């Protein structure tokens, strides 16, 4: 099968400098991810899973090497163009949901559209439709603290997808959920891959087993262990 490439990482070196101490995370990592696939990123704590997502989103810049995302070489973009690229192409889901606490679910989902300049009326209508589609229509006017963890994560996914990004990055999206809620959230993420490329970090083997590909990240090594 000839698939387009969504992410290409070539000979990437990444280190963090904290005072006098330097942490080398990647020393020549390479990886290719096909479009419209779900890739699980697994590996030990501290191995570099979040760092890999940060490279792909441009939040972390490599010391050396190429990070090409959706055909764009990220090192060619300055911070402002990188922020535009991210807003247009990348959705994020985090383990801790990161919903804004004092606004309701519909407004949380509408936020990326409001930030992109859409009218409040149109943004909230689209957000309410998105919540309907994932079975949370009746919760649209609830604030995050009035929702279960699984419901909050579904709201966070709706928010990440509201701009229809080509790439969805999820960092331990099921890590703080019970098994049943985790299954619902994972299904939502998997379904979303029909229209986009999904990368998710996970400690959970059963989550990784549902992905198309599994990438193992250990200190200094990034490698495809299964899949496309």
Ligand X SMILES: Nc1ncnc2c1ncn2[C@@H]1O[C@H](COP(=O)(O)OP(=O)(O)OP(=O)(O)O)[C@@H](O)[C@H]1O
Rank residues 137 and 175 by Cβ distance to ligand X and give the closer one.
Answer: 175
* Alpha helices per DSSP H over the chain: 49-57, 79-89, 105-115, 120-133, 149-161, 179-192, 205-208
Minimum CB separation of residue 69 from ligand X in Å reads 18
Contact of 142 with 105, CB cutoff 8 Å: yes
Q: Name the one range near ligand X by CB under 6 A: 18-26, 63-71, 84-92, 141-149.
A: 18-26
Question: Total residues contacting ligand X (rule CB under 6 A)?
Answer: 12
Is 173 an interacting residue with respect to ligand X (CB under 6 A)?
Answer: no
Measured CA to CA, the distance from residue 129 to residue 131 in angstroms comes to 5
Q: Which of 31, 38, 47, 188 binds ligand X (CB under 6 A)?
A: 47
User: For 9-21, b where at least 16 C-beta lie within 10 A, e where not — what string?
Assistant: beebebeeeeeee
Does residue 224 sit in helix, strand or coil? strand
**Which of positions 50-89 make contact with ligand X (CB under 6 A)?**
50-51
Minimum CB separation of residue 220 from ligand X in Å reads 11
Is 216 an interacting residue with respect to ligand X (CB under 6 A)?
Answer: no
Rank residues 128 and 202 by Cβ distance to ligand X and give the closer one.
Answer: 202
Does residue 93 sit in helix, strand or coil? strand
Q: Name the one range near ligand X by CB under 6 A: 29-37, 38-46, 143-151, 182-190.
A: 38-46
Q: Which of 3, 16, 98, 120 binds ligand X (CB under 6 A)?
A: 16
Is 135 an interacting residue with respect to ligand X (CB under 6 A)?
Answer: no
Minimum CB separation of residue 27 from ligand X in Å reads 12
Measured CA to CA, the distance from residue 179 to residue 115 in angstroms comes to 34
Rank residues 139 and 216 by Cβ distance to ligand X and give the closer one.
Answer: 216
Q: Which of 33, 34, 48, 212 binds ligand X (CB under 6 A)?
A: 48
What is the SS3 string spanning 27-70?
EEEEEEEECCCEEEEECCCCCCHHHHHHHHHCCCCCCEEEEEEC
Using alpha carbons only, give the angle 82, 85, 88 rounded to the nearest 5 degrees: 150
Minimum CB separation of residue 57 from ligand X in Å reads 13
Best CA proximity match to 38, nearest among 129, 183, 206, 170 = 170
Rank residues 23 and 100 by Cβ distance to ligand X and give the closer one.
Answer: 23
Q: Which residues bind ligand X (CB under 6 A)?
A: 16, 18, 23, 25, 43, 45-51
């Amino acid at each position: 099968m000839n698939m387009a490439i969504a992410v290409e990482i070539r000979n990437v070196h990444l280190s963090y400098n904290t005072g006098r101490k330097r942490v080398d995370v990647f020393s020549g990592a390479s990886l290719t991810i096909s479009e419209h696939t779900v890739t699980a990123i697994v590996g030990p704590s501290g191995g570099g899973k979040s760092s890999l997502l940060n490279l792909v989103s441009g939040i972390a810049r490599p010391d050396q090497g190429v990070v090409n995302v959706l055909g764009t070489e990220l090192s060619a973009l300055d911070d402002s163009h990188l922020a535009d690229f991210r807003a247009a192409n990348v959705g994020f889901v985090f383990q801790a949901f990161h919903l804004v606490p004092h606004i309701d679910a519909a407004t949380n989902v509408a936020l990326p559209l409001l930030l992109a300049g859409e009218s409040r009326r149109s943004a909230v209508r689209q957000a309410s439709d998105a919540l309907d589609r994932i079975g949370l229509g009746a919760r649209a006017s609830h604030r995050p603290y009035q929702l279960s963890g699984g419901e909050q994560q579904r709201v966070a996914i709706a928010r990440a997808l509201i701009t229809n990004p080509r790439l969805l990055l999820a960092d331990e999206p099921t890590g703080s959920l019970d098994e049943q809620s985790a299954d619902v959230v994972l299904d939502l993420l998997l379904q979303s891959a029909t229209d986009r490329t999904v990368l998710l970090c996970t400690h959970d083997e059963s989550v990784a087993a549902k992905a198309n590909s599994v990438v193992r990240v250990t200190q200094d090594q990034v490698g495809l262990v299964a899949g496309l």
